[in-house]
A and B are shown apart, each in its own frame.
Chain A
Amino acid sequence: MTGTVQNSEVIPIKDSSDVVFIRQRVRIWATQLKLGLVDQTKVVTAASELGRNTLEHGGGGELEIAHLVDGARTGLRLTFSDKGPGIPDIKLALTDGYTSKQGMGLGLGGSKRLMNEFDIKSSPGEGTTVTVTRWK
């Protein structure tokens, strides 16, 4: 993960209305960074998927939205963290169609395809942190 943080915002994720709020805030940041409409839509959709994961699987947590600058390029970085049960098998969780609940199983794998960079750290009993970045 390269680049320096210009400014950032932290939003708590406690219930499903927070997931809607996250979409709105991420949309505003993406617009301010002048991402194109398709890229904005991808970032907001990934935020919605990952925010729901944090809520449903992690039992709630928070999102940090950060404006990154790396030389001439700018990017939007989203960090979702929770202190939930963690993911025992990350490789399995990234497989399309894998779901521990009744979702479509597209949340993690799908978000990875929608963003430029994707990183996940998780240890059983300690929680999960997913960091994704979309460069302009």
Chain B
Amino acid sequence: MDRIPILRMGNLLLVTIQVDMHDKLAVTLQDDLTSRIAEVGARGVLIDISSLEIVDSFIGRTLANIASMAKVLDAQTVVVGMQPAVAITLVELGMSLPGIRTALNVESGMQYLQETSRAEEQDMDYDGDSAEF
């Protein structure tokens, strides 16, 4: 069965969608990613869709599902590289993907994920310090 590979880099998971996904493949990706997040305790998920020539309502919904499920599992999701024509079409279709963090490219997406996980660590440090009083 077809599968989209999920790469792990530290506490981040990276996915590049490079094929025209049929619906079952999108659902498989959703399931695989959710299990991997829990398995490795990932703090961030980066999904690169720069090769996707269209995002229809099903794929859009799958991306939104992944982001919500990741959030419940305490991981941030960022979708990067959406082509301008795809963005125009999605909004006209009626999907503005609320709840999904996006970035123009992999670099700024990675930066966002690293910053949020660093900010969380600092918060935790602070809690630790205050507990000593």
The yes or no answer to B31 lying at the interface (CB within 8 A) is no
Interface set, chain B 28-49, CB cutoff 8 A to A: none
Q: Which of A44, A96, A109, A113 meets B54, CB within 8 Å? A: A44
Measured between C-beta atoms, what is the minimum distance from B92 to chain A in Å? 5
> Chain B nearest CB: distance from A20 CB in Å?
5
Give chain A's interface residue range (CB within 8 Å of chain B). Answer: 20 to 34
Contact size class for B? 20 to 34
| Residue A48 interfacial (CB < 8 Å) | yes
DSSP class of A's interface residues: helix, strand, loop or mixed?
A: helix
Mask of B98-115 contacts with A, CB within 8 angstroms, 1/0? 000000000000000000
Among B20, B90, B92, B94, contact of A20 (Cβ-Cβ < 8 Å): B20
| B residues less than 8 Å from A37 (CB atoms) | 85
Q: B22, A27: Cβ atoms under 8 Å?
A: no
What 0/1 pattern do residues 96 to 114 of A give for CB contact below 8 A with B?
Answer: 1000000110110111011
Question: In the complex, which residues of chain B have a beta carbon less than 8 angstroms from the beta carbon of A16?
Answer: 22-24
Contact A110 B93 (CB under 8 A): yes
Ordered by A's residue number, 30 sampled pairs between the chains whose C-beta atoms are within 8 Å are A16-B23, A16-B24, A17-B22, A20-B22, A23-B20, A23-B54, A38-B84, A38-B85, A38-B88, A40-B85, A41-B86, A41-B89, A42-B89, A44-B54, A45-B54, A45-B89, A45-B90, A45-B93, A48-B54, A48-B56, A49-B57, A49-B93, A103-B57, A103-B58, A103-B61, A104-B58, A104-B95, A106-B94, A110-B95, A113-B93
